[in-house]
Structures are given as C-alpha cells and as structure tokens.
Chain A
Amino acid sequence: DTGVSQDPRHKITKRGQNVTFRCDPISEHNRLYWYRQTLGQGPEFLTYFQNEAQLEKSRLLSDRFSAERPKGSFSTLEIQRTEQGDSAMYLCASSPSGDLGNQPQHFGDGTRLSIL
C-alpha cells in the first residue's frame, strides 16, 4: 500500500536559510493539503490544491511560504528566510475529490523542521 510520502523526514537548518519539502500523494488522489503542527496543537491548515490549482491559502501562510503542485501530482512547500517560529511538523495529506469532498484525508508522516 503506497501511502502519502514526505521527504525529508527531518530538516535542521539555520535561521535565515531557505528550505523545501516534498510531498507525494496517493496516486489517484487529486486533492492535496499542507498543514503545520506544533507541539501540543492540532494540524493548522496552510493550503490545498485540486489537481495543479491552489484553491485556498491560509492567512497563516506569510509571503515567505509558497507551495506548488506543477503537474497535479507531487507538491513542494518552500519556506524562505526561515525564522525560529517556523519550527514545526509540516504534514501533507491527500484525498480523492469524489462525493463532494467528504472523503477522509490520508496523511504522510510529516517533515519535522528545526531552526537553529
């Protein structure tokens, strides 16, 4: 069973550096979501895609964050000029778009970002 795959699993970087994470969804899923999860909190919505179109973006996502899904398959999340507050687990999830969006999301195991 090929689930949602995220790479890398862990990323340690210095403040001010740029980082990029990759998410490979389940192949037949055309919705893809990015979330941020900090310790003791639930996942916070960042953005989602329907195929290659980015349909919604949270106000939490500052100009330093950008996400792409160029061919409607894998997605990347880039954070520029990282700050201490960006330290978190970044989760990717995918779902099929049938039944008007009531399908559950399948989550990857996340990328844990630590800013030194």
Chain B
Amino acid sequence: AQSVAQPEDQVNVAEGNPLTVKCTYSVSGNPYLFWYVQYPNRGLQFLLKYITGDNLVKGSYGFEAEFNKSQTSFHLKKPSALVSDSALYFCAVRDASSGTYKYIFGTGTRLKVLA
C-alpha cells in the first residue's frame, strides 16, 4: 500500500531565510511525487513533480524539491522565503507500478513566514 508522511504540522521561518518542508513516502514500485499548495478556501495548486531523471526538480514560485530514493524522501525547499509563501503544503504520491491512477496525499504542513 502507498502512503505519505509529512511529519511537521507547522513550519515557521523568517522572511528571507531558506525553508524546508519534509515529506517521506512508501510505495511498492516507483514513485511519482508531487507538491501542491493550498490557500484558504481554495483548491490545491500544483508546484512541482518528480517522475524520473534528475533528483533535484524545480517548480513554480522558486520552489524546488529533492528526491532521495534511499531515504524515501521528497523534501520541498526554497532558498529565500517570502511572506506570501505562507500557506498549506501537501505532498502526494502515486505508485507508478500499481496499475492505479490513485494519488495519496499527506496530511499537510502549514508554512508560516514571519516578516
């Protein structure tokens, strides 16, 4: 069975500092990994994905994520946080070998960037 864990309910960071939001996953086969962001009373917006290839993937709004197969992690990062980055962030995984197009989402991490 596939699963995703986001171990931190909330991450606080000062504006201008680097940020990391953690995600670990468990799948039987190869993972397709995604990060989404959600603002209040809105749906989720896609940030970036890892399918194959380079372990470091770059996405929207200056975000990037590093795929680490040995640690089964896909942490979201940004070199310099903005107050406008404050939102709820979700990691999601699909098992590419499962034959299903079902995605599993983590419980979310609230990012608060302090001015």
Contact = CB atoms under 8 A, between A and B. Distances in A.
Interface of A: 4, 31, 33, 35, 40-45, 48, 50, 55-56, 58, 91, 93, 99-102, 104-110, 112
Given A43-B90, A101-B94, A108 B43 contact: yes
Given A31-B101, A102-B51, A40 B107 contact: yes
Contacts of B49: 102, 104
A4 B44 CA distance: 11
Which of B36, B41, B43, B92 has the most CB atoms of chain A within a 10 A radius of its CB? B43
How extensive is the interface on chain B, given as a class? 20 to 34
15 contacts: A35-B105, A40-B107, A41-B108, A42-B4, A42-B108, A50-B101, A91-B43, A93-B43, A102-B32, A105-B44, A107-B45, A109-B42, A109-B43, A110-B43, A112-B41
Nearest to A102: B51
A62 B53 CA distance: 40
Contact of B103 (A105, A106, A110): A105
A50 B66 CA distance: 31
Interchain residue pairs A-B with the least CB separation, the first 9: A107-B43, A42-B105, A104-B46, A107-B44, A102-B51, A109-B43, A101-B101, A43-B105, A42-B107
